[in-house]
A and B are shown apart, each in its own frame.
Chain A
Amino acid sequence: MRWWIEYEKGPAIRYLSHLDMVRLWERLFRRSGLPLQLTQGFNPHLKISLGTVLPVGLWGRREYLDVKLGGDIEPEELCSRLRAVAPPGIEIRRARRLARELPSLMAVIDTSIYRFKYPASLETAIRKAAERMERASEIRVIRPKDRKEVNIRPGIIRIKCIPGADEFILEFTVFSGGRETVRFSELLPALDEMGLQRKKIVDYWREGNYVRTNDQLIDPMELD
Chain B
Amino acid sequence: MPGTGLSKLWGYPKNRMRSVMIRETLCKILPTVSKPARYTGNELNAVRKNWDEVQVRMVFAFPDVYEVGMSHMGGRILYGLVNNHADFLMERTFAPWPDMEEKMRENGIPLFSLESFMPVGDFDVVGFSLQYELSYSNVLNMLDLAGIPLLSRDRDDAHPLVIAGGPSAFNPEPLADFIDAFIIGDGEEAILQVLSSVRKSIGRRRHERLKELAAVQGVYVPAFYEVKYNGDGTIAGINPRLPGIPNRVKKAVIPDLDQAYFPVAPVVPYLGIIHDRAVLEVMRGCQRGCRFCQAGIIYRPARERTVDRLMEMVRQTIKSTGFDEVSLASLSSADYSGIQELTRGLIDEHGPQGIGVALPSLRADAFSVGLAQEVQRVRKTTLTFAPEAGTQRLRDVINKNVTEEDILNACKAAFDAGWLGVKLYFMLGLPTETDEDLDGIIELVRKIKRLAAERSRRAPKIHVGLAFFVPKPHTPFQWEPQITTEEMMRKRRYILEKGRIRGVKYDFHDPATSYLEGLISRGDRRLGEVILGAWQRGARFDGWREYFNLENYLRALEAAGLDPEFYANRRRELNEILPWEIIDTGVTAEFLMAERERAYKGEPTLDCREEGCQDCGICPGLGVDLQVKGGGQCAGG
Contact B44 A87 (CB under 8 A): yes
Chain A, 1-60, CB within 8 A of any chain B CB: 10-16, 19-20, 23-24, 26-31, 33, 36, 38, 42-46, 56-57, 59
Q: A13-B270, A16-B270, A19-B272 are in contact. Are A30 and B322 (CB under 8 A)?
A: yes
Contact A11 B9 (CB under 8 A): yes
Cα distance A33–B270 when bound, in Å?
20
Contact A87 B268 (CB under 8 A): yes
B438 to chain A, nearest CB (A): 38
Q: A12-B5, A15-B36, A26-B324 are in contact. Are A43 and B270 (CB under 8 A)?
A: no
Contact B42 A88 (CB under 8 A): yes
Contact B322 A43 (CB under 8 A): no
Which of A120-128, A137-145, A156-164, A198-206 is the interface stretch?
A198-206
Contact B321 A31 (CB under 8 A): yes
Chain A, 172-210, CB within 8 A of any chain B CB: 198-199, 201-205
Contact B2 A87 (CB under 8 A): no
B43 within 8 A of A: yes
B14 within 8 A of A: no
Cα distance A153–B405 when bound, in Å?
71
Contact B271 A20 (CB under 8 A): yes
Cα distance A42–B381 when bound, in Å?
12
Cα distance A28–B45 when bound, in Å?
13
Main secondary structure on A side of the interface with B: mixed
Cα distance A13–B322 when bound, in Å?
18
Cα distance A46–B324 when bound, in Å?
10
In the complex, the chain A residue whose C-beta lies closest to that of B380 is A42
Cα distance A203–B2 when bound, in Å?
4
B37 within 8 A of A: yes
Question: Which residue in B1, B270, B318 is a CB contact (below 8 Å) of A199?
Answer: B1
User: CB-defined interface of B8-47 with A at 8 Å, one 1/0 digit per residue?
Assistant: 1110000000000000000000110001110010111000
Cβ of A15: which chain B residues have Cβ within 8 Å of it? 30, 35-37, 40
Cβ of A96: which chain B residues have Cβ within 8 Å of it? none
Question: Which residue in A31, A57, A201 is a CB contact (below 8 Å) of B322?
Answer: A31
Cβ of B37: which chain A residues have Cβ within 8 Å of it? 13, 15-16, 20
A89 within 8 A of B: yes
Contact A201 B5 (CB under 8 A): no
Cβ of B44: which chain A residues have Cβ within 8 Å of it? 27, 87-88
B613 to chain A, nearest CB (A): 45
B409 within 8 A of A: no
Contact B272 A27 (CB under 8 A): no
B545 within 8 A of A: no
A83 within 8 A of B: no
A117 within 8 A of B: yes
Contact B270 A24 (CB under 8 A): yes
Q: A14-B5, A27-B323, A203-B3 are in contact. Are A45 and B354 (CB under 8 A)?
A: yes
Cα distance A33–B353 when bound, in Å?
10
Cβ of B318: which chain A residues have Cβ within 8 Å of it? 30
Determine which residue in B10, B43, B270, B319 has the highest number of CB atoms from chain A within 10 A of its CB, and name it. Answer: B270
Cβ of B353: which chain A residues have Cβ within 8 Å of it? 30, 36, 38
Cβ of A30: which chain B residues have Cβ within 8 Å of it? 318, 322-324, 353, 355
Cβ of A14: which chain B residues have Cβ within 8 Å of it? 2, 5-6
A56 to chain B, nearest CB (A): 8
In the complex, the chain B residue whose C-beta lies closest to that of A202 is B4
Cα distance A153–B147 when bound, in Å?
51
Question: Which residue in B4, B321, B379 is a CB contact (below 8 Å) of A27?
Answer: B321
B574 within 8 A of A: no
In the complex, the chain B residue whose C-beta lies closest to that of A199 is B1
Cβ of B40: which chain A residues have Cβ within 8 Å of it? 12-13, 15
Cβ of A43: which chain B residues have Cβ within 8 Å of it? 377-378
Cα distance A20–B42 when bound, in Å?
14
Cα distance A23–B36 when bound, in Å?
17
A85 to chain B, nearest CB (A): 8
User: CB-defined interface of B374-407 with A at 8 Å, one 1/0 digit per residue?
Assistant: 0001110000000000000000000000000000
Cβ of B321: which chain A residues have Cβ within 8 Å of it? 27, 31
B387 to chain A, nearest CB (A): 28
B201 within 8 A of A: no
A175 to chain B, nearest CB (A): 23
B484 within 8 A of A: no
B113 to chain A, nearest CB (A): 16
In the complex, the chain B residue whose C-beta lies closest to that of A20 is B270
Contact A203 B4 (CB under 8 A): yes
Chain B, 360-377, CB within 8 A of any chain A CB: 377
Contact A29 B2 (CB under 8 A): no
Cα distance A15–B5 when bound, in Å?
12
Q: A29-B322, A203-B3 are in contact. Are A42 and B42 (CB under 8 A)?
A: no
Cα distance A24–B2 when bound, in Å?
23
Contact B322 A26 (CB under 8 A): yes
Determine which residue in B6, B8, B43, B272 has the highest number of CB atoms from chain A within 10 A of its CB, and name it. Answer: B6
Cβ of A57: which chain B residues have Cβ within 8 Å of it? 2, 31, 36
Question: Which residue in A11, A24, A199 is a CB contact (below 8 Å) of B4?
Answer: A11
Cβ of B322: which chain A residues have Cβ within 8 Å of it? 26-31, 85
Contact B42 A89 (CB under 8 A): yes
Contact B272 A23 (CB under 8 A): yes
A141 to chain B, nearest CB (A): 19
Contact A42 B378 (CB under 8 A): yes
Cα distance A26–B5 when bound, in Å?
25
Contact B2 A44 (CB under 8 A): no
B83 within 8 A of A: no
Cβ of B272: which chain A residues have Cβ within 8 Å of it? 19-20, 23
Cα distance A59–B320 when bound, in Å?
26
Cβ of B30: which chain A residues have Cβ within 8 Å of it? 15
Cβ of A45: which chain B residues have Cβ within 8 Å of it? 324, 354
Cα distance A129–B188 when bound, in Å?
62
Cβ of B8: which chain A residues have Cβ within 8 Å of it? 11
Question: Which residue in B5, B9, B355 is a CB contact (below 8 Å) of A203?
Answer: B5
Question: Which residue in B2, B270, B379 is a CB contact (below 8 Å) of A202?
Answer: B2
Cβ of B36: which chain A residues have Cβ within 8 Å of it? 15, 56-57
Cβ of B2: which chain A residues have Cβ within 8 Å of it? 14, 57, 117, 201-205
Determine which residue in A30, A38, A59 has the highest number of CB atoms from chain B within 10 A of its CB, and name it. Answer: A30
Cβ of A88: which chain B residues have Cβ within 8 Å of it? 9, 42-44
Chain B, 265-286, CB within 8 A of any chain A CB: 268, 270-272, 276
Cα distance A117–B4 when bound, in Å?
10
Interface residues in chain A, defined as those with a beta carbon under 8 Å from any beta carbon in chain B: 10-16, 19-20, 23-24, 26-31, 33, 36, 38, 42-46, 56-57, 59, 85, 87-89, 117, 198-199, 201-205
List 9 A-B pairs, Cβ < 8 Å. Answer: A11-B5, A12-B6, A12-B42, A26-B324, A28-B322, A42-B379, A44-B354, A57-B31, A85-B322
The 10 A-B residue pairs whose C-beta atoms are closest, nearest first, are A11-B5, A27-B322, A30-B322, A87-B44, A12-B9, A31-B322, A15-B36, A15-B37, A44-B354, A203-B2
Q: A12-B42, A16-B271, A20-B271 are in contact. List 4 more A-B contacts (CB 8 A).
A: A10-B5, A26-B324, A27-B323, A57-B2
